Amino acid sequence: MTAVPIGWFLILGSLLFSIGALGVLIRRNVIIIFMSIELMLNAVNFVFVAFARQLHSLDGQVMVFFVMTVAAAEAAVGLAIIISVFRNRETVNADEFNLLRW
Amino acid sequence: MHEAITHTAVAVSYLWLIPALPALGVLVNLSLGALLGKGAVGFIAPGTVAGGFGVALYCLVQILQLPPGSALEQTLWPWISAGNLQVDIAFRVDALSAVMICVVTGVGFLIHIYSVGYMHDDPSYARYFIYLNLFTCAMLILVLADNLPLLFVGWEGVGLCSYLLIGFWFDKEANASAGKKAFVVNRVGDAGFLLGTFLLFWSLGVGTHSLSFQDIAAHAKSIPLDTVTLITLLLFVGATGKSAQLPLYVWLPDAMAGPTPVSALIHAATMVTAGVYMIARLNFLFVLAPATLTVVATIGALTALFAASIGLMQNDIKKVLAYSTVSQLGYMFLGVGVGAFSAGVFHLMTHAFFKGLLFLGSGSVIHGMHGEQDMRRMGGLRTYMPTTYRTFLIGTLAIAGVPGLAGFFSKDLILAHAFSSSPVLWLVGLCAAGMTAFYMFRLVFMTFWGECRADEHTKHHIHESPATMTVPLVLLAVLSIVGGYVGLPEMWAWGNRFDAFLAPVFAAAQGGEHHMEMGLEYALMAASVGVAVGGIALAYVLYVARPELPGQIADQAAGAYDLISNKYYVDELYDAVLVQPALKLSNLLWRVVDVGIVDGIVNGSARVVGASSSFWRRWQTGNVEHYAVSMLFGAVLILVFFAWHSS
Amino acid sequence: MLYRMINPPEISWIAILPVLLLSATAMLTMVADLWTDGPDREGLGWIGLVGLMATAIAAVALWNTKLTSFAGAVVVDRYGLFFTLLFCVAAGLTLLMSMSYLEQTDIRTGDYYSLILFSTVGMVVMATAADLIVVFLGLEVMSIAAYALAGIWRSQVRSNEAALKYFLLGAFATGFLLFGIALLYGVAGTTTLTGIAQTASGATAEQRTLLIAGMALMIVGFGFKVAAVPFHAWAPDVYEGAPTSVTALMAVGVKSAAFAAFARIFMHTLAVMSPDWSAVLWVLAVLTMTVGNVTALLQRNIKRMLAYSSIAHAGYLLVGMVAGGELGGSAILFYLLAYTLMTLGAFSVVIALGRRGQPNENLEDYAGAGFRSPFLGMAMSIFMLSLAGIPPFGGFVGKFYIFSAAVKSGYIGLTVIGVMNSLISVYYYVGVLVRMYMTDGGVEITQPSSRPYLFATLVVAVAGTIALGLFPSTLFEVARQSFLALG
């Protein structure tokens, strides 16, 4: 197995992370924003796994499990919040939530 | 000779009572005030201050009996401890603070009594006394404090109470804005004070420090000159804010919006002297910074002259007294600035007596005239209010520097010291003294002499104030006469007992003591008396002998030319050359410098902060994505900074 | 060869007793909710209070020990215990005020109490974490519960919006924090704080680069939670929209927990890197203080004003971190305690002024409040003066410690900016006093003495704020010992 240098993994992870971050900035639909955040988390997971492989340490993989579990919990609460927002406002467009400002 | 004095401290257990008694008054009136009714509130509030006065007198007697340089101390509990900082809640009474607590509680007590009558019909009677007691408590903490942080507790406390009391009658729009101005200006002063304290703490160096005045005194000499100059200048900024000196004096004339007894207590007798007290307290630090002392003396002298010149033209009776207070505070700073600390404190004390008296007298007039404060609608009140008139006249004679009264001795002492330091400063002080005599007698003549210019209805109801108000006036009048005799000029038999009493406190400052030639001292005294008499005479000419003159001057300024008549030719010449430019200058100074420039800076800086506030508010668009952008931007900036920093 | 036998780590049950008790209480309230019906759920609050009391007792009992558990992933030292006690106080007072507050809202679900307790569990975990995995877990337990709490007043559009914003931005910030953790893990080969500290002290140039990048990303993550500028923008919106009691918990609990982990990682684990991070935190501190205070000046809604105030206070705390050392660290701990009491007190007054269907959160509503309820007026005055740093209250002493620490470390410029800021802040804090005592009008007030829970909250907060101002030395000594326990 030819070893891919760790740097490449880091660059790919950073790219995925940036794509996710840009998605948060650009997209208007809160569900898609949330999916972009998930992409960011998964980019980090990717970096964790890469490091775990390089360092021959299980900690990184354990961390990935925790991140996935936490992300699931976060998704549950987040979707619940989005639903309750949708019930009151009948929209999931992030631009329209600006009752609170200044 | 002062080096030989040992500073012994006697631990006592009753000092806490002095501030605790007024605090007790606050608590009782706050929790039970509504239940007890006016009678009880009006008894408890002055009663607690009287109790404090009793303890203060006892302290004074103790200090007098102990060997010179002794102090009473009480450490209550350790307060702030951190690393090499160990600040206690501790009180200390030496000669200086003994004088101060007696003045604060004594004059405070009389003003409390006076307030019982003055505020009798006010619906917020209990609230007024709660604030007043709270103020007394804070002021006592300020003068009793053994260390700088505790002094700051009192410093902030008196500022807050002053703020609450200026805005006491908040239904008037002007009062609220006056409170605001006092507030903003005092912030600037507090910034100086706090930064000075932190810088002092930083520069004291290794070892455990309590920031107590002894601790600072012990280590002050090891601080480099530049640092000590900066520290003292910062502290002096604090003093200019609290004690209304150039350029931070603007709040004091506006503060007259509060009830008149408050003006007497806070804005004349006690709080505004806190800056003078602080410098006197830290005299050992200030003498290490001659540059700062020069600044203090110059600012003091300029303020004395500047405020006195504005006072010449004011028509509001309280405004005259307010500018007069600013001017007299300038004298005190002139005194401490030329190293005559005990003279400054002496004037602080006599000023508390006669200015307290004058303010209370003006309050009595306003009370009798049903709220009228414009002197142009007064006049002839001496027949209606004889006690007020007589006591007021005594106060006026005292402040004008007429020999034999308290103000003469203290002012003369400052001027004598100023002369040996710099004749220019002396001359400035002398001019201000002449103006003081003029505007004060102008006030007396306009208010109490001549014909009554009030409308018929008011005239009908003018009455002398009740005994609760006149008795404090009489007592303060007595003090305004005899108060000066504790500090006679050195050459006279009795000598300056006051100076001798305070000397141990100012031992560090009096290394180069000098005795003036007797002849010179008499000459200076004669000059002071001369300008005082001149000022009084001029006021008499303009406001009694020829009362139409000032009006004509005003007319002329408006463009009327019929004034030129041969009969008054001499007067007119005199007037045109001397009086009118002075009056115009006075008006100009007031309008341009006071209202225009200084207020402008104060309001302008507030506006700048306000504008940036609305600018930053725009950050908050309410849009999630904008927030995310701001976060990402911050993240990128931090990464870029690190990339740049570590390469 | 990766697949070794799994050796379960040794678990010291004693060490995690506080967390266990707290988690058990939280679950108990969930279960007990099944047996409570009707609108009154104060019983659940009482269960929570008893549980918090038990937790606090356990924390005090452990005071003289330093235990680790889960193979060193959790460390129960005085530092962690100090924060555990702080969170017990914060959560206890929040529960107390909630028991009055929920009456004036439509929040009728018992989950409210368990969520508060779960959020507190997360805080305690964060404060006792000695491993970045545990820090992350604690942070998420705390935050997820807080997201739900922010939106728990479901019929309120503003509560919905606050929850949504908090959730989206919080998750976004978590991404940065996680990336930072990943980079530190990549450098050190471990997520334990001791391992990272060892790596940091002997880092090669290449390792330093990754460490610094990781640090930068963690600053973003923690900066968000403590509401430091420019990661603060969520705070005013969320604080304004969330139910007031939840806002109170977020302002004190979440912020303190974030500072607990932030300070442990940066001031202890990454102490050798302090020349690098302190420059960044210097800038953040200045920005946070200034933007917080200046923006607060123009606010008309008291919750929003307190939000900006809490941003500014994060700035003062960052000054303590920049100052560093024993004095800076202990000053942070002390300041957080004082801040907790006075902020919770201020939010209780906000609750006390509100009534059902009429939140009365505008400053105009405070007009004349000092006369209509002297007790409320006095309490609010004390909180505002203390927040403004005016003696003799806890906030003044806290600021004095922080700025003394900064001065001692030679950060004169930072101190000057800090003092100036604290003087600007006096303006809006005293503005509340002016409303209460120098204007007329305003709203009807239910006397707090008729609402026992709220009254109790206020009494505790007032007493604490005054006590910290007059007798700070004992607690400062406790804070100092706690900080020194970091080693």
The interface predicted TM-score (ipTM) is 0.95
CB C209 within 8 A of CB B646: yes
State the nearest Cα–Cα gap between C153 and chain A, in angstroms: 10
Which chains, if any, share at least 3 CB pairs under 8 A with chain A?
Answer: B, C
pLDDT value for B112: 93
The ranges assigned to domains in chain C are: 10-484
Q: Which of B160, B191, B634 sits opposite C420 (nearest CB)?
A: B191
| Mean pLDDT value of segment C238-244 | 94
Asked whether the predicted pLDDT for residue C226 surpasses 90, the reply is yes
| Mean pLDDT value of segment C375-392 | 92
Asked whether the predicted pLDDT for residue B583 surpasses 70, the reply is no
Taking the CA atoms of B44, B46, B49 and B53 in sequence, report the sign of the dihedral they define: negative
Percentage of residues in chain A with pLDDT exceeding 90? 66
Which of A21-30, B377-386, B579-588 is the most confident on average? A21-30
pLDDT tens per residue across span B189-216? 888 899 999 888 888 877 778 888 988 8
- In terms of CA atoms, which chain B residue is nearest residue A28? B625
- In terms of CA atoms, which chain A residue is nearest residue B616? A102
| Mean pLDDT value of segment B215-238 | 91
The verdict on A99 touching B (C-beta cutoff 8 Å) is: yes
Percentage of residues in chain B with pLDDT exceeding 70? 87
Sort out which chain B residues have CB atoms less than 8 A from C467's CB and list them: none
Residue B245 DSSP code: -
Asked whether the predicted pLDDT for residue B354 surpasses 80, the reply is yes
pLDDT tens per residue across span B29-53? 888 877 888 888 889 999 999 999 9
Sort out which chain C residues have CB atoms less than 8 A from A58's CB and list them: 2
Token pair, residue B272, equals: 């505004």
Token pair, residue B154, equals: 């009192």
Any bridge partners for residue B91, and if so which?
B74, B145
Which chains, if any, share at least 3 CB pairs under 8 A with chain B?
Answer: A, C
pLDDT tens per residue across span B48-75? 999 999 999 999 999 988 888 888 999 9
Q: Between B466 and C284, name the one with better pLDDT.
A: C284
Asked whether the predicted pLDDT for residue B588 surpasses 90, the reply is no
Asked whether the predicted pLDDT for residue C254 surpasses 90, the reply is yes
pLDDT value for B81: 83
pLDDT class of B507 with cuts at 50, 70, 90: confident
CB B426 within 8 A of CB B419: yes
- In terms of CA atoms, which chain C residue is nearest residue A101? C237
Which chains, if any, share at least 3 CB pairs under 8 A with chain C?
Answer: A, B
Token pair, residue C7, equals: 């050796």
- In terms of CA atoms, which chain B residue is nearest residue C479? B82
| Mean pLDDT value of segment A60-69 | 93
pLDDT value for A5: 86
Query: Which positions 36-95 of A are in contact with C (Cβ < 8 Å)?
Result: 37, 40-41, 43-44, 47-48, 51, 54-60, 62-63, 66-67, 70, 73-74, 77-78, 80-82, 84-85, 87-89, 94
The ranges assigned to domains in chain B are: 1-254, 289-565, 578-646
What are the residue ranges of helices labelled H in A27-101?
Answer: 30-55, 59-89
State the nearest Cα–Cα gap between A21 and chain B, in angstroms: 8
Any bridge partners for residue B335, and if so which?
none
Contacts for C373 with CB less than 8 Å, ≥ 6 apart:
C352, C445, C447, C448
pLDDT value for C115: 95
| Mean pLDDT value of segment B442-463 | 83
Number of H helices and number of E strands within chain B?
A: 28, 3
- In terms of CA atoms, which chain C residue is nearest residue B165? C438
Token pair, residue B393, equals: 């006249």
pLDDT value for B567: 35
Asked whether the predicted pLDDT for residue B572 surpasses 60, the reply is no
Sort out which chain A residues have CB atoms less than 8 A from C174's CB and list them: 41, 74
CB B439 within 8 A of CB B320: yes
- In terms of CA atoms, which chain B residue is nearest residue A30? B624
- In terms of CA atoms, which chain A residue is nearest residue C168? A34
Closest listed residue to residue C329, CA positions, set C142, C212, C460, C481:
C481
| Mean pLDDT value of segment A40-64 | 93
Distance of alpha carbon B340 from alpha carbon B205, whole angstroms: 30
State the nearest Cα–Cα gap between C393 and chain B, in angstroms: 10
What are the residue ranges of helices labelled H in B119-243?
Answer: 125-144, 148-166, 173-203, 213-219, 225-242
Closest listed residue to residue B324, CA positions, set B425, B436, B410:
B436
Amino acid identity for residue B590 in this structure: W
| Mean pLDDT value of segment C421-441 | 86
pLDDT tens per residue across span C286-340? 999 999 998 898 888 999 999 999 999 999 999 999 998 899 999 999 999 999 9
Asked whether the predicted pLDDT for residue C231 surpasses 90, the reply is yes
pLDDT class of B524 with cuts at 50, 70, 90: confident
**B379 Ramachandran zone, left/alpha/beta (phi>0; psi -120 to 50):** left
Test A99 with B632 for CB contact under 8 angstroms. no
Query: Which positions 85-124 of B are in contact with C (Cβ < 8 Å)?
Result: 85, 89
Average model confidence (pLDDT) for chain B? 84
Q: Between C342 and B464, name the one with better pLDDT.
A: C342
What are the residue ranges of helices labelled H in C264-301?
Answer: 274-296
Distance of alpha carbon B182 from alpha carbon B248, whole angstroms: 9
pLDDT class of B559 with cuts at 50, 70, 90: very low
Q: Which of A41, A62, A99 sits opposite C133 (nearest CB)?
A: A62
Distance of alpha carbon C138 from alpha carbon A69, whole angstroms: 13
The ranges assigned to domains in chain A are: 28-94
Distance of alpha carbon C194 from alpha carbon B121, whole angstroms: 72
Token pair, residue A55, equals: 């360092």
State the nearest Cα–Cα gap between B138 and chain C, in angstroms: 11
Asked whether the predicted pLDDT for residue C423 surpasses 90, the reply is no
CB C247 within 8 A of CB C347: yes
Q: DSSP characters for C370-391?
A: HHH-HHHHHHHHHHHHHHHT-T
Give the relative orientation of helices C78-101 and C255-263 as an angle to the nearest 10 degrees: 170
Contacts for C204 with CB less than 8 Å, ≥ 6 apart:
none
Q: Which CATH class is domain A28-94?
A: mainly alpha
Q: Between C1 and C428, name the one with better pLDDT.
A: C428
Test B82 with C330 for CB contact under 8 angstroms. yes
Asked whether the predicted pLDDT for residue C379 surpasses 60, the reply is yes
Q: Which of B624, B629, B632 sits opposite A94 (nearest CB)?
A: B624
State the nearest Cα–Cα gap between B145 and chain C, in angstroms: 13
Q: For residues B597, B603, B608 and B609, what is the CA-based torsion angle, rounded to 10 degrees?
A: 140
Distance of alpha carbon C42 from alpha carbon C47, whole angstroms: 9
The verdict on C433 touching A (C-beta cutoff 8 Å) is: no
